[in-house]
Amino acid sequence: MLKLFSGLMFTVFVVTLLLSCSQNPKVANSKVDLQKAEVRIAKANAGIGDTLKKIVKTKEEWKAQLTNEEFYVLREAGTERSFTGDLWDNKDEGIYTCAACDLPLFDSSTKYKSGTGWPSFYQPINENHIGKDTDQNLGYTRNEVHCARCGGHQGHVFNDGPKPTGLRYCINSVSLNFVEHR
């Protein structure tokens, strides 16, 4: 009986171990060229100072510029359905910019597979390009993330991301444009 019990416990232990391993986030692109990424990030951040000047537009102006879905997510802090966007599974190398004002927000080298169906990054391309707020839309406090220049809602940031930051920037595909870089 004792033998059976310890055998059972061992099985539970192994299964738990396997599960925890399979949940470890993986970098979306295993061939990430860090040197290229570094150059790309430096370029995106170079001389950006002045361009961080706030962009303010009326609701009508944003409506005229954005698609209905973009307006709903970017200006009304909506959320696209998971696994429906065109960037959650994008593994190409390049920069993710704000879909409303083109400010560089994330780099592909910090994108990882979170399994959520939304593009997930462990850090922004530049902390100054991201604004943070809190919301209670789901009945509990979440840390909202938006573009620092135009205020466009991007998504939320959670504390269950991978190293080195431990953060998970959970971003709507529709809030981003992707600029490929080979």
Binding residues vs Zn ion (CB under 5 A)? 98, 100-101, 103, 147, 149-150, 152
CB atoms within 10 A of CB 114: 22
* In the complex, minimum distance from the CB of residue 149 to Zn ion, in angstroms, rounded to a whole number: 5
Pick the closer one to Zn ion by CB: 28 or 73. 73
Distance from the Cα of residue 169 to its chain's centroid:
4
Residue 74's contacts (CB-CB under 8 Å, 6 or more residues apart) are 62, 66, 99, 100, 152, 153, 174, 175
* Catalytic site residue from 98, 101, 150, 170: 170
C-alpha 180/C-alpha 177 separation (Å) is: 10
DSSP class of residue 111 equals B
* In the complex, minimum distance from the CB of residue 129 to Zn ion, in angstroms, rounded to a whole number: 9
Helices (H) and strands (E) in the chain, counts: 4, 10
Pick the closer one to Zn ion by CB: 28 or 74. 74
* In the complex, minimum distance from the CB of residue 158 to Zn ion, in angstroms, rounded to a whole number: 21
Pick the closer one to Zn ion by CB: 41 or 100. 100
Q: Which amino acid is at 170?
A: C
The structure tokens 């939304």 sit at 118
Token representation of residue 95: 């920069």
Question: Has 98 been annotated as catalytic?
Answer: no
Pick the closer one to Zn ion by CB: 51 or 84. 51
* In the complex, minimum distance from the CB of residue 36 to Zn ion, in angstroms, rounded to a whole number: 25
Dihedral sign for Cα 173, 174, 179, 182, please. positive
- The residues assigned a catalytic role are 170
